[in-house]
Amino acid sequence: MNTRLQAASRQVDGPLLRVTDLRTHFRTERGLVRSVDGVSFTLDRGKALGIVGESGSGKTVLSRSIMGLLPGRNTERSGSVVFEGEEIIGLSLKDRRKIWGKEMSMIFQDPMTSLNPVMRVGKQVSEGLRIHLGMDKDTARATALRLLQDVRIPEPEKRLDQYAFELSGGMRQRVMIALALACGPTVLFADEPTTALDVTVQAQILELIGEQRRDRNMSVILVTHDLGVVAGHTDEIAVMYGGKLVEKAPTRSLFANMKMPYTEALLRSIPNIEDPSHTRLNVIPGRPPDLVNPPKGCRFSPRCEYVQPKCINEEPPLIAAEHSDHVYACWYPVGSPVYRERRAQLDAEKRRAGHNQVGVA
């Protein structure tokens, strides 16, 4: 298997990554867009964290903001990101470059536009090896070949001298992964890594990322809109809505004991393959908030079926559930008396309307 010993030698107490009150706002003609608005979380070494949310929830901006990949102009960033014990917010471009690829790397949704179209695959993979690890040309090429084998690209010798356009979509994403893994990063950000791929290829790529994470004791942040993808491939899940983190829990605990009505609504709007065909789908009415003028209280309140006056006026803080590792931001979480009363009301209404929906227990 792969040699990845640097991580162990630099072991620092505490979590690998600690994000505190991170805010990332963009100045636009329409006003300040609050894409990430006070997000805090920690990530331990070797763990996989899923960040889930709809388009515009801020999940992509969050991951890029942590890495410092956003353009400086018109961006306002505050808060703290401590990585291996060091604050990385405010680092110069030169210092950030030392981190990119070597400590933190990222794979993107569209492998075609993220790879260099006029540079051979082998050269792209070995570029980081030569710069960060100071390898000579031949060693770098041999290492690149081994990386392509690791990500199980068929005929790896031949691929080294090919260009991205000569490869299939799944193979391009494998090259992206090889490139991201080249310098043995401690954290891999995967931003919708399988959204552009077919479902059979998606399964292969997710399996590959999981396998590499275990082999290398690397942490993974998997950013996606698909609760199905995170369910099987993460240890923890953070749900984002309107630039805020609204629920975070270990994966099993989240699915078994959802607290935030948004998380529940999101899960229930996915067509379940086990339901008979023509089963009426649960919808979340309306659409995500405008992040220039987000709603005053809970940002989900305009779309929430269980909304109460307090939700409209006061923003709920992130509080712990029965277990301290499960946090959520809701005044009347799933299972609370107010929630249950409203649920019963809604179920009665739906029965009258004649929809074949089943209420939650």
Partner 1 sequence: MAGSGKAHLRATGDVLLRVEDLVVEFPVGRTGLKVHAVSGISFDVLRGETLGVVGESGCGKSTTGKAMMMLPRPNSGSVEFEGTELTDLPAAAMRAARTRMQMIFQDPISSLNPRRKVRDIVREPLAIWKRGTQAEQLAKVDKLLEEVGIDPVRAGESQAHQFSGGQCQRISIARSLVLDPTLIICDEPVSALDVSVQAQVLNLLEDLKAKYGLTLVFIAHDLAVVKNISDRIQVMYLGKICEVAPSDAMYSSPAHHYTKLLLDSIPVPNPEVAVQQVTVQGEPPSPVLPPPGCRFNPRCPAADDRCRAEEPQLREVAKDHFVACHHPLFGGEAPVAVRSATG
Of the pair 127, 226, the CB lying nearest partner 1 is at 226
| Shortest CB 282 distance to partner 1, Å | 6
Show the tokens assigned to 353. 């309307």
CA angle (58, 109, 84) in 5-degree steps:
65
| Shortest CB 33 distance to partner 1, Å | 16
* Beta strands at 31-43 and 17-28: parallel, antiparallel or unpaired: antiparallel
| Shortest CB 337 distance to partner 1, Å | 26
Number of Cβ atoms within 10 Å of the Cβ of 219: 24
| Shortest CB 97 distance to partner 1, Å | 34
Of the pair 1, 273, the CB lying nearest partner 1 is at 273
* Total residue length of the chain: 361
Per the CB < 8 A criterion, the answer to whether 359 and 345 are in contact is no
Residues 6+ apart with CB under 8 A from 36: 22, 23, 24, 25, 58, 61, 62, 65, 243
Concatenated DSSP letters of 94-160: HHHHHHBTTTEEEE-S-HHHHS-TTS-HHHHHHHHHHHHH---HHHHHHHHHHHHHHTT-SSHHHHH
Cα(151)–Cα(208) distance, integer angstroms: 7
| Shortest CB 335 distance to partner 1, Å | 19
Of the pair 93, 199, the CB lying nearest partner 1 is at 199
User: Residue 225 to residues 81, 206, 270, 311: CA-CA distances in angstroms?
Assistant: 24, 15, 11, 25
Task: For residue 313, give the 3-state DSSP assignment.
Answer: helix
Per the CB < 8 A criterion, the answer to whether 338 and 283 are in contact is no
Of the pair 69, 231, the CB lying nearest partner 1 is at 231
| Shortest CB 108 distance to partner 1, Å | 18
| Shortest CB 151 distance to partner 1, Å | 12
| Shortest CB 211 distance to partner 1, Å | 11
Of the pair 284, 318, the CB lying nearest partner 1 is at 284
Of the pair 14, 271, the CB lying nearest partner 1 is at 271
Of the pair 46, 169, the CB lying nearest partner 1 is at 169
Of the pair 66, 265, the CB lying nearest partner 1 is at 265
Number of Cβ atoms within 10 Å of the Cβ of 178: 27
Cα(35)–Cα(1) distance, integer angstroms: 40
Residue 139, amino acid: T
Residues found near partner 1 in the complex (CB under 8 A) = 54-55, 152, 154, 168-171, 198-204, 206-207, 225-229, 231-233, 251-252, 255-256, 265-267, 269-285, 287-288
Cα(206)–Cα(190) distance, integer angstroms: 10
